[in-house]
Structure 1
Amino acid sequence: MQIEVLHIDECPNWEAAGDRVKEALAQLGKTATVEFRLLSTPEEAARVPFAGSPTITADGEDLFPSDGGTPDLACRIYFTPDGVAGLPTVEQLSQAIGHHER
Structure 2
Amino acid sequence: PQNAFKGNLTFDMSFDFDNYSVKLYPTPFTFDKPVLLDLSFYGVDFSTLDASTLGFNYLDGEKEQLNYAYLNINEKWGVLSIGGAEIPHFSRYGWTRVK
Which structure features the higher share of strand residues?
A: 2
Which structure features the higher share of helix residues?
A: 1
- The structure with the largest alpha-carbon Rg is 2
On whether the aligned pair clears a TM of 0.5, the verdict is no
Report the TM-score, using the length of structure 1 for normalisation.
Answer: 0.30
